[in-house]
Chains A and B, each alone.
Chain A
């Protein structure tokens, strides 16, 4: 049986590119603005300061970004359903306080302690979800309340001004140690092959169902770009970036962890029933309900996922700092929201992907890093970051209007 209505997969490369342009014009911009600004910022800062594009700063930038990237990705799950979690940062702080008390005071195995921290995050997410989805309290209020309350809880757990050194080498290693060169290459190869396999698998299933596929050259180009960029990054990170005698090289351990979470989270959102329903609830909760989707359940799971991933960002932060403080996580949550929005995740719900949050976090980190290198006064980067955020939110609002007007 032949099908006469297309699916957007038909046509040659040129037609595909035109269709993409039309989508962008129609308001479906996705990560395009943030990728472009990433490019512009990189060119700008490397022109202004030669240190910006060095191996050392590059590795530094990646570890600086990891914590922000993780919390931004966590927030995507709740922003997608047009909610917010202002307590994501302090939730990670509370979970890490629990972790450090278990390892340092009680001498419990670090793996168990991490598990306890993650479970603690899940429980907090469940509580937020209950109040928001079941009781109907606005998430802004629930999580603002927790934001304040958990700061008190952190103080109670760790004491005023309490700082506990992390004694677990495995946790310290995440941000401070690097993969051996061969392992970095292996990781790239595995990830790239996975992407290629997934691509070929999708094409095969489509043609088995008698559906058109996009020109294969498009897929080859995509794989080539990812391969080349990935290889360049790994090669760059595998060169010695030390300024002293001791060699420092390799992909920071946090990178494969973050990329794996990004990959799994994207599979969850794009290819499972839960992901589809999450987008539906974000787009039109009433329509979702009428389609038989259990809206309350989806919302609660979204908050659980957010809080759990926030705990992972807390682990990253603790690893980088080398300690758990009573004030951990307080400052980062708004930057996380900013990163998601800058990356193209819509605060109106229903639109955005994890990769957008990751790119947005890179943009914000680059602004921070680059302006710091140029040596401008500290206040400037807040101004610039704030400006970029408002710009991004404006782009989102305008593109929404445009896609509404395009019909």
Chain B
């Protein structure tokens, strides 16, 4: 494998909502150039963990290191400033805008007070081409006319355009058909190969094994397993997810 440089390191992360401890001392690492799958059953704490990384919801305690430096992720803005981008399940694209407009939304390039459309169009095309996206005909298509897979592609490409160092994908293939899932997973792979650290949340273990280098399993707020996908199998992961197996049991 390529580098083992950790982009994000979490140590002893906790988070509770009132009396409910959702995260009970999580250690987690995601490396540059690798896809780390975060799996676990509903209520295991995946979303809470991700929200903390996205800066949407601060952790109660624990250390967050980004690129080796200790940081505080107090807002979505501070997370974005570090180069953390989240691609949410519901995508957060504007259907009435075209691909270029969506990719640059909130960070438009300007000449004076007017939008620099040609430059944005060029950059968007370049980014999509760089990710070997071939399913999109025109970057000036409205997002409303795109398929679910194409939309996911646009959302991922947007994070690349923003020079993300860590991209978090929340169920990127949940609503997609077979062919589109394949395309998005290929895109995720290329994204990681370009040196970005990718965290992917998924319930679909088939997808996880297809794309992930590392698999981290959460069970009731604890990290019960950190596995290399090449050294484990489907059944083991299911047992970790359902709590019928712990790291000590390893045969």
Alpha-carbon separation in the docked complex, A291 to B101 (Å):
11
10 contacting pairs across A/B (C-beta < 8 A): A3-B122, A7-B100, A209-B119, A271-B115, A276-B105, A279-B97, A288-B94, A290-B76, A292-B80, A407-B144
Shortest 8 CB-CB contacts between residues of A and residues of B: A291-B106, A350-B96, A283-B94, A283-B96, A209-B118, A3-B125, A292-B106, A287-B92
Q: Are B125 and A5 in contact (CB under 8 A)?
A: yes
Alpha-carbon separation in the docked complex, A276 to B136 (Å):
22
Which residues of chain B have C-beta atoms less than 8 A from A388's C-beta? none
Q: Are B96 and A351 in contact (CB under 8 A)?
A: yes
Task: Say which one of B7-15, B42-50, B126-134, B181-189 lies at the interface with A.
Answer: B126-134
Q: Are A283 and B95 in contact (CB under 8 A)?
A: yes
Is A273 part of the contact surface with B, judged by Cβ < 8 Å? yes
Which residues of chain B have C-beta atoms less than 8 A from A206's C-beta? 118
B101 to chain A, nearest CB (A): 6
Q: Are B144 and A7 in contact (CB under 8 A)?
A: no
Against B, the Cβ 8 Å flags (1 = close, 0 = not) of A254-295 are 000000000000010001110011011011101110111100
Contact pick for B138, options A7, A271, A350, A351, CB 8 Å: A7
Q: Which residue of B lies closest to A280 (CB)?
A: B94
Is B228 part of the contact surface with A, judged by Cβ < 8 Å? no
Alpha-carbon separation in the docked complex, A208 to B119 (Å):
10
B193 to chain A, nearest CB (A): 19
Q: Are B121 and A280 in contact (CB under 8 A)?
A: no
Against B, the Cβ 8 Å flags (1 = close, 0 = not) of A337-357 are 000000000000111000000
Is B110 part of the contact surface with A, judged by Cβ < 8 Å? yes
Q: Are A28 and B142 in contact (CB under 8 A)?
A: yes
Q: Are B105 and A280 in contact (CB under 8 A)?
A: yes
B184 to chain A, nearest CB (A): 15
Which residues of chain B have C-beta atoms less than 8 A from A272's C-beta? 113-115
Which residues of chain A have C-beta atoms less than 8 A from B76's C-beta? 290
Q: How many A-B residue pairs have CB under 8 A?
A: 115
A266 to chain B, nearest CB (A): 13
Q: Are A279 and B94 in contact (CB under 8 A)?
A: yes
Residues of chain A at the chain B interface (Cβ within 8 Å): 1, 3-9, 26-28, 205-206, 208-211, 267, 271-273, 276-277, 279-280, 282-284, 286-288, 290-293, 349-351, 403-404, 406-407
B94 to chain A, nearest CB (A): 4
A177 to chain B, nearest CB (A): 35
Alpha-carbon separation in the docked complex, A351 to B93 (Å):
15
| Most chain B CB within a 10 A radius of its CB, from A208, A286, A290, A406 | A290
Q: Are A403 and B145 in contact (CB under 8 A)?
A: yes
Is B140 part of the contact surface with A, judged by Cβ < 8 Å? yes
| Most chain B CB within a 10 A radius of its CB, from A4, A276, A287 | A287
Q: Are B125 and A7 in contact (CB under 8 A)?
A: yes
Which residues of chain B have C-beta atoms less than 8 A from A3's C-beta? 122, 125-126, 129
Is B233 part of the contact surface with A, judged by Cβ < 8 Å? no
**CB-contacts of B210-246 with A (<8 A):** none
Known interface pairs A211-B121, A292-B106, A403-B144. Does A276 touch B95 (Cβ–Cβ under 8 Å)? no
Which residues of chain A have C-beta atoms less than 8 A from B93's C-beta? 284, 287
A211 to chain B, nearest CB (A): 6
Which residues of chain B have C-beta atoms less than 8 A from A291's C-beta? 92, 105-107
20 other A-B residue contacts (CB within 8 Å) besides A5-B128, A350-B94: A3-B126, A5-B129, A5-B133, A6-B139, A7-B140, A8-B138, A26-B145, A209-B119, A210-B122, A211-B118, A276-B101, A276-B105, A276-B115, A279-B96, A286-B92, A287-B93, A288-B106, A292-B106, A293-B106, A403-B145
